Amino acid sequence: MAQVVKDEQSPETPSAVKHEASPPLRKSPGILPDKPVDITLAEAPARIDVKRVTLLLVGLLLFTIVYLSPSWSSAVDPVGDSFELTREGKAAIGLFLL
């Protein structure tokens, strides 16, 4: 029985597959690409997002109320120690609410 020996350059091997040359990216000889067939404009975004502005104003209002409020009573931590809440402490609470 005769053995069939495949040639290494046969079309079945991946190295022998010939690729066609890809077409050039630009048909025109200039630098710019060809003009598009259709030109459409994107929709204009909403000018003012009312929800976002409202939430920002509510946060600023809460911060201002907490920061400018008269001094609060002493704060008590979980251990039971009490300490006076300073203006910086009120600012920290206001920033948390912001």
pLDDT in tens, 31-59: 788 888 888 888 887 788 889 999 999 99
Q: Is the pLDDT of residue 80 over 60?
A: yes
8 A C-beta contact, residue 27 and residue 65 = no
pLDDT, residue 54, reads: 95
Chain CA centroid to CA 18, Å: 43
8 A C-beta contact, residue 44 and residue 38 = no
pTM beyond cutoff 0.85: no
Which letter does DSSP use for residue 9 in this model? T
Whole-number Å distance between alpha carbons of 9 and 6: 8
